[in-house]
Each structure stands twice: as C-alpha cells, then as structure tokens.
Chains A and B, each alone.
Chain A
C-alpha cells in the first residue's frame, strides 16, 4: 500500500472517532492540509475581489442608507430614510414606470427567440445575419440612446416619414408613454442580439437525434418547435427572462439619462435613475442608498420567484 493511501486510511480511522469528529481539520493528513492551503491561496484573489468590490460596497451602502449624508457629513437616522421613501408618492410613480418598462421583456425574448431559431435552422446567409444581429449589442448605451433620440426627434427620420405620409410630426419625448415606448424600442434593439446568442447556445445543446426522430415520426416545423425546441431550452429561456427583468430594474439608467433625463416631469424616471437623482442631484446620498438597498431586495425577490417559476436549477 502506498504511503498516501496509508495516510488516507489512517485519516479515515481517526475521523471515525467522536473526538476527532468535533475537530476534523486538526486530524487532516499533512498533504490534505497543504492541499487546502493551496486551494485557499488559489481562491484568495477572487475572494478579495468579491469582498472588496462587492461585499464591502454593499455593506457600506447599507450603512449609508441609515444615515443622512451628503458624502461628507453623516447623521445616523436609523430606518427613517426607508420610511420616507415608502411614503413618497414619487417613488411609487417611478416603480410604476419601471413596471411599464417590463413590456420590453416579452418583446426582446420574442425577437431573440425568432432570430435564434432562424439561425439554428441555418437559413440562407445565417453566418452573416449572426454578425449583423449581434452588432447592436456591441454599441454603448449612450450611442444607442443618441441614435434613437435622433431617429425619433421632432426633426428626425421617423417624423420626416410621418410628414411625408401626410401626418403631423409627433413629439415622442414630451409625452411619458411615448417616450417610454421609444426607450423600450432602443432596449429591445440593443439587447436582442445578445439574447439570441444565449438562446442559440441552448438550441445547439439539444441532441439532433431528437429532431431526426421527430421528423421520422412526421412532426412538422411548428410541432418540432412547440414539442421539442421550446421545452428543451426551458432553462435557457428562464435565464434570459430573469436577466431581462433584472435589466429592466437596474440597467435603464443609461438610456434614460441620454434620451429623456427622466422627463417630462418624472414620467420616464426609473428607480435606478431616481437613485442617481437623489444621491447626486438632491444631495441626499443616504436616501439614494436606501432606495438602492430597496431595489436590491426587490430584484433579489423577483429573481428568486422567477427561479422558482422557471425551475432554472432543476434537471430536465
């Protein structure tokens, strides 16, 4: 028996005793201890990054949210910031705005699903289309926002077309719902390419034999789509749905900042934009942090619920 195997057996024997069960680490074989140390050292950089870049800021934000502060002076006020936010009608109006933006989720998933299925079916020129569809995803939010702002501006291309067809120019950015519609279009346009690739990866993971068997059984394209393709990418679809809902609550800032600045009034202001306004515009960093914490909890709860609904973690 080799030395290592002997040590391992000895370790197992010791671990079986009640006393060692209380202090298992002390009884570890030297090689195992060394292995653990190496493992710990190996993950240390990642732990430091996660701790420094994620955990510390989150805890610090939590602390800020319990204070009245402009970033320089701090005055502890407990949960008062949270209470003030909960009774502030503006916060509820902004939450409602975010809910309106949720319309983008089915739209982007539908567009992504359509594109991914067509690419999966290898339609003519699919390689070129794959690049074209992904192009908007590499543009920055600011560029996409400005592009759509120009397109839908009073003197933009869309209004030029409207006038050419005999209509009156439309003020897309001075009416809340219209402005939200334009932002949603920008969101869908810039996001569907990336989501398509995610779905395509799910599609490519399906065993081709399943399709071949279905075809031999006489299943048509729609039947294959509904009974094979979609059920098999359920988890990918669920993931895409979750990240899109998450985006809708946390990643609209850039579009809103560039396209409407939250106006007119607060009709296109989203929660993330309101956090910015409160923290840096309104000089109420504590209140902004409290809103950020509330958003964090909301998004966490939504993600958890969706995870349950889509059973993303379950095996097929």
Chain B
C-alpha cells in the first residue's frame, strides 16, 4: 500500500510544476476567485482576536533588523490584506530564527507546552509529517473544488497514506535542486555556459578547468549546516535509485545504507576533498551563501530554484541554471530532485482556529497564489487555475521547459524522511564533506536512525 502511495507522491511532484508553468490556455481566462469559505464556516465570518503565524523563512522575508520586508514578503503582504478584510483581527507573523533543526526543536518545545502558533509554515513531506501529533486535520477546511484544483496534497498526508489526515496545505508547485553558473567566469576559463555538464564528473572536470585557468574557486558552497550536501546527495540518489529512492527508504524497503547511498556519499566526500570548492565551505552558513556567489567567489553554485529571483537580479543574462547532473553511469541519468516544498498547517492547540482556517482558505485562492508566484519567481502555482503568465523570471521559465525532459522526478531525502533522520542527514552531510565521517559511516548512521523511527512508527 505504501509503495503505491509514495509512487503517487512522486507523480504528483512531477505533475505540479507542469500544471503551473505550462498550464492550458483556459487558465489565463481566470474565473472570479471562489468563495474563501470552506465546508466548516460561513462566508461572512466575523473574525477577531489574534492569529499567530510562525514561518521559517518560506513565505515571509525580513529586513536586516528583523522587521518584515513588506516589498518582498508574500506572507506579510497577505497578512496585511487579510487584516483589511477582517478589521477585528490581528495577524502576527513570526519568523523563526535559526536553521531547520533549531526551528523544529523550537516548534516541538512550544507545541508540548501548548503555546506555539495557530499556523506553522514548514517544508512539506517529512518535516510536516513529523509533527502530526500537533497539527489538525485539514480534510474539512476547504471546499471540494480547492482540493481538486490544488496538487501536492499527498505530500502532507499522515504517513503518506491517501486516507491519512491532511496535516497541511501544500503551497507552490515545487522547488528543484539546481546548479547556477557564473557565465563570465566560465567564459574566462574557456567554457561554454550554454553547454552545461551532462554528468557530475563532467561538472567536476569543468571545475578543474576553472581552477586551473582562472585560479578561482570552481564551486561556491556554504555547507556549515549540511544543506548543500542534502541537495547534492538527494539529487544523486535519485539518479541511482529512481523516483522511489527516498520513499522506499522511508518505509524501510531499501536500507538507507544501500550501496547506492554509500556511492553517492563518496562522491560528495570527494568533492569536499577535491580542493575545487571555496576553502571555507565547511564553515560558511547558508545565510551567507547567496552573497558569496554574487561576489564572484565561485563559478558554480549548487543550490535550488528558490534562488532564481536573486540570481536573475544580480547577474541578469550572465547566469545559467541546470539541474544537478547525475553520476556517470547512473541508472536514471535524467533524474531531477525536488517537489512541493511549502506546507501550511494549523496546530491542534490553536487559540484562533476559525481565523486560521479562514486564512488558509484565503491563501488557497488562485489569484493569491499567483501573487506568490509573481512576487518570488521561484516556483509556479500548484493551483490548476493559476495564471502561468505571472512567471516572468527567465530562469524559472527555462527550468519549467527543462523539466519536461527530466524523469524521474524524485522527492528528495530531506523532504521525505522524519525530522530526526533529516537532522542527522544534515549533520553527516557536513562532516562527510569535511572528511570527518566516511561515506559508509554516514550511511550506517542514517540507517540506524531510520530503523529507530521505523520501530517507533
């Protein structure tokens, strides 16, 4: 049952971006926004009090001092509009500080104490499912047409079970792991940016050329937290094991220390030891990553489509993106890793559940989702009534086209696995890169952690 379910997830993931970016012409003929009311509450809801929303930097943005960036923050903009619709209500948006592991720990602690938010925004998949005990079922929150119009619901169902509780509302068609190349630097090294490398090894070979010809770092990485490793390992694993790579591991059908995982970790360890990355890659935090690449500290930048906006703004035409290439000889050489990333959940201890539900219904409207796409340009809408013309970012458009030729689409390891395994995953990604942990040991540690989760499940 689970295998079929998880297969469905990956199919949904693949369908999501195509639905948004390449949707049919009728979606441009946008119908009036449906009623924001669901099956539980009337349309004329008088909301009052305070609605507390915790975000982990997924839908909201802040200025350097911590104040909301009203120009760029989709969440804060929508919170303001929602408050205008409901004058008696105050929406308080809180950006959780720290990395993913710290965010999760904060939320867990607050939830045990029962003083967390009404709504929490986190990654879809494992990071949502791990908090199933704290989230309310959203199965009756939206009108049926909303469930029908939006994709990605399977990524937020309890235990990935099609009949399981709906623990969140997926938002956006999906983010994909990509490599950005600084075209000027590649040209300086005599490389053609228009011909991206076909394999991981080819990319490393290009990197050597960059290093030799320019003396600059071939790869810019900010791997203090192990996130770059998560993107690389997650993608390469898809090339070895296909679309079920992570999901089979989640259910224990394939051990996490499968030889394919060890092989992938070895590749990751090798790039850490190659001397082709910035020498401080192990101590640069994710928060500093964009700035470093923009400053020209590397020719290639392993990251994801969430950087489309920044890259387009900073480099203009001098930037190219391509999906992380697979290892030479990979069974699935055109695999790509990514999928629905954002989920909005309502806590089962919410102090203002009616307002929380209404806010989610408000956000689920196609035109509001289009505003998200339009503002961020990092992913399409996961609503089939979305307007693809709002995608104006060249990189996102190219990625959408490129995705058509990429199969399978793999829901990545750190989107699928339970939070405890994900936390360890990041940790060993950082230490493997530094040569502190061997590839086999990393895979074994993850297997042990997953076995424990399987025993507890």
Contact = CB atoms under 8 A, between A and B. Distances in A.
B99 interface: yes
B179 to A, nearest CB: 23
A265 B434 CA distance: 9
A72 B431 contact: no
Given A72-B133, A263-B427, A265-B427, A174 B420 contact: no
A36 B216 CA distance: 80
A171 B279 contact: yes
Contacts of A280: 104-106, 108-109
B282 A174 contact: yes
A282 interface: yes
Nearest to A154: B280
B104 A73 contact: no
A281 B420 contact: yes
A73 B423 CA distance: 22
A261 B426 CA distance: 12
Contact of B423 (A68, A172, A281): A281
B111 interface: yes
Interface residues of A, number: 30
Contact of A281 (B101, B134, B283, B436): B101
B284 interface: yes
Interface string B429-457: 01100101100000000000000000010
B364 interface: no
A153 B437 contact: no
Given A169-B279, A281-B104, A264 B109 contact: no
B321 interface: no
Contact of B431 (A153, A173, A263): A263
A21 B332 CA distance: 89
A72 B427 CA distance: 27
A266 interface: yes
A58 B236 CA distance: 47
A260 B445 CA distance: 20
B419 interface: yes
A267 B280 CA distance: 18
A280 B427 CA distance: 16
B159 interface: no
A283 B130 contact: yes
A70 interface: yes
B105 A276 contact: yes
B279 A73 contact: no
A183 B66 CA distance: 28
Interface in B295-319: none
Contacts of A276: 105
Interface in A32-83: 68, 70-73
B112 A283 contact: no
Nearest to A70: B133
Interface string B404-428: 0000000000000011100100011
How many residues of B sit at the interface, in one of the four size bands?
Answer: 20 to 34
A284 B418 CA distance: 13
Contacts of B284: 154
Contacts of B280: 154-155, 169, 171
Contact of A264 (B101, B106, B419, B430): B430
Main secondary structure of the interface of A (DSSP, over half): loop
A254 to B, nearest CB: 13
Contact of B437 (A70, A155, A261, A265): A265
A171 B283 contact: yes
Interface string A1-19: 0000000000000000000
B279 A154 contact: yes
Interface in A263-316: 263-267, 276-277, 280-285
Interface in A150-198: 153-155, 169, 171-174, 176
A281 B105 contact: yes
Nearest to B113: A71
Q: Which of B101, B130, B283 has the most CB of A within 10 A?
A: B283
A176 B99 CA distance: 21
Contacts of A68: 456
Contacts of B224: 263
A155 B279 CA distance: 11
Interface string B264-299: 000000000000000110111000000000000000
Nearest to A90: B445
Interface string A212-242: 0000000000000000000000000000000
B114 to A, nearest CB: 10
A163 to B, nearest CB: 12
Given A68-B456, A171-B282, A264 B436 contact: yes
A173 B133 CA distance: 36
A139 B144 CA distance: 55
Nearest to A172: B283
Interface string B225-254: 100000000000000000000000000000
Contacts of A283: 108, 130, 418-420
Contacts of A265: 427-428, 430-431, 436-437
Nearest to A269: B427
Contacts of A266: 427
A154 B279 CA distance: 9
Contacts of A257: 102
Nearest to A176: B436
B105 A267 contact: no
Nearest to A173: B283
A73 B133 contact: yes
A282 B450 CA distance: 11
A266 to B, nearest CB: 7
Given A169-B279, A283-B108, A285-B112, 6 more contacts: A265-B428, A265-B430, A265-B436, A280-B106, A283-B130, A283-B420
Interface of B: 99, 101-102, 104-106, 108-109, 111-112, 130, 133-134, 224-225, 279-280, 282-284, 418-420, 423, 427-428, 430-431, 434, 436-437, 456
29 contacts: A70-B112, A71-B108, A72-B133, A154-B279, A154-B280, A154-B283, A155-B280, A171-B283, A257-B102, A261-B102, A261-B225, A263-B224, A263-B427, A263-B430, A264-B282, A264-B431, A264-B436, A265-B427, A265-B430, A265-B437, A266-B427, A277-B423, A280-B104, A281-B101, A281-B105, A282-B423, A283-B418, A283-B420, A284-B420
Report, nearest first, the 4 A-B pairs whose CB atoms are least far apart.
Answer: A71-B112, A280-B105, A154-B280, A265-B431
